[in-house]
Amino acid sequence: MTLRSSDRFQLAADLDTRRILNGMWQVSGAHGPIDRERAIEEMFAYHEAGLTTWDLADHYGPAEDLIGDFRRRFTARLGVERLSEIRAFTKWVPHPGPMTRRVVEDAVGVSLSRMGVGCLDLLQFHWWDYEDPRYLDALKHLADLQGEGKIRHLGLTNFDTERLGIIVEQGVRIVSNQVQHSLIDRRPEVLMAPYGRDHGVALLAYGTLLGGLLSERYLGGAEPRPSELNSASLRKYKHMIDAWGGWILFQELLAALKRVADRRQASIANIGVRYVLDRPAVAGAILGARLGVAQHIADNARVFGVALDADDLAVIEPVLAKSRDLMKLIGDCGAEYR
């Protein structure tokens, strides 16, 4: 399968991304065991389908090591000259504390070593406590390491608009912010997207499929019992559905999406992803890849053939209008983590 150039987003002059990214949170251990050999072989299948961008983190279990192994096998099979096809965006999620040059450089060094690269494509930085301003120290050191060629570009993860503005005002060039963004969580559209559009900060959306809840599997189904929510993703996004409006309203949304999906010869998931990709400032959507366990390569790629028009939105938007305002209930992007 060959994807079109329009299925990429240019984050910077020297860095692009597929608009669907393969999310590796699912290998962290919070979603069940992963067979390493099967996982790496499946990474080749994703790549061959044109889904060549990976989203990972230092704390996603073996995710960085899997990228390193994949790159080595990729080189052996396809040649070193094709390594540039792979995009791997990692994260650094430190515990709050002193952010000295040594602390920051050592953390970056671990990611470089595990991933088998000399330069990180995109390092996405997360900080747990805004009351501790040392996140600015960390970002200053990261910017220095960027200048030394160890990091190509800097991004953020789950920062709110206020703190993003402070960072940008400090002169740190940020190309992306990874935030929760879906049909039920449209908080990024309120403040973050307008700011990002004005300052060249693209959004990488996660949680777009609500851990798989946004699918035909749950259409017409009874509300899942806690014991049926057997992964971290399902538990997390069921809580988001409850906050948004509850299971009955969610069923109404799934039914509306099914009508649009049937019209477009697509799946409910396709419509949910396409809706978010069409939102302001969104560069891409991160869809979880349960490597070696469950595969949705063909369905994910089908998103690129879907276009939503005003008639489709006229089916979806009235349901969304019935929901609670999560911006008022939770706060800006990332507030649920602080």
Q: Which domain holds residue 84?
A: 5-211+269-307+332-337
Q: Identify the three-state secondary structure at position 173.
A: coil
Question: Is 59 a member of any domain?
Answer: yes
Res 324: pLDDT = 98
Residue 43: inside a domain, yes or no? yes
Beta carbons of 115 and 88 less than 8 angstroms apart: yes
Residue 321: inside a domain, yes or no? no
Instruction: Choose among 149, 202, 280, 172: nearest CA to 17.
Output: 202
Comparing CA positions, the residue from 108, 114, 8, 102 lying closest to residue 53 is 8
Q: Is residue 132 part of a domain?
A: yes
Q: What is the pLDDT of residue 66?
A: 96
**Predicted pLDDT of residue 216:** 97
The pTM (predicted TM-score) of the whole model is 0.95
What pLDDT, on a 0 to 100 scale, did the predictor assign at position 2?
Answer: 54
Separation CA 297–CA 288 (nearest Å): 11
User: Which residues on neighbouring strands pair with residue 288, listed in sequence order?
Assistant: 23
Q: What is the pLDDT of residue 231?
A: 85
Provide the pLDDT for residue 259: 98
What is the structure's pLDDT at 195? Answer: 98
Kindly give the parts of the chain with pLDDT less than 50.
1
Give a yes or no: residue 251 inside a domain.
Answer: no
Instruction: Determine, yes or no, domain membership for 221.
Output: no
Q: What is the pLDDT of residue 148?
A: 98
| Assigned token pair, 144 | 């220095």
The count of structural domains within the chain is 1
How many distinct helices (H) and strands (E) make up the chain? 12, 10
Given this model, what pLDDT does residue 163 score? 98
Predicted pLDDT at 290: 77
CATH code, 206 = 3.20.20.100
240 in any annotated domain? no
Residue 32: the pLDDT is 66
As a whole number of angstroms, the distance between CA 248 and CA 241 comes to: 10
Does residue 217 lie within any of the structural domains? no
